[in-house]
Amino acid sequence: MTACRSPPTLVPLVGEGVQMVRTHTTLDLDRNLLRDAAEALGTTRTTETVHAALREVVARRRRAWLARRDFSELEAALPDMRTSRVESTERPGEPVAS
């Protein structure tokens, strides 16, 4: 795969009202692989297929990182984590005023 890069540009996301940095890049892609990836990802356009594949790779890496973490020390802290940090002025059984 070869790529030709141009400088990053700010492109508004459709309907989002925010901007993200995008780079226009020319890629030589295996058409069969692109077709198979689009089918697997449920995409139709090349750009959305590439973006979906990149998101999938990043998500997989994050899941793998989380799977390697040792959360066993958190079990003892769960009761404190589940306790409300906001003082309640309501009494049990009283209807909540709205």
Per-residue pLDDT 10s for the chain (98 aa) are 455 556 655 555 555 555 567 788 899 999 999 999 999 999 999 999 999 999 999 999 999 999 998 888 888 888 888 887 776 666 666 666 65
Alpha-carbon span 6 to 12, nearest angstrom: 18
In a domain, 87, yes or no: no
Element housing 30 (H / E)? none
Global model pTM greater than 0.85: no
For residue 13, the enclosing domain spans 3-69
Domains held by the chain: number: 1
For residue 37, the Cα-to-chain-centroid distance in whole angstroms is 19
80 inside domain: no
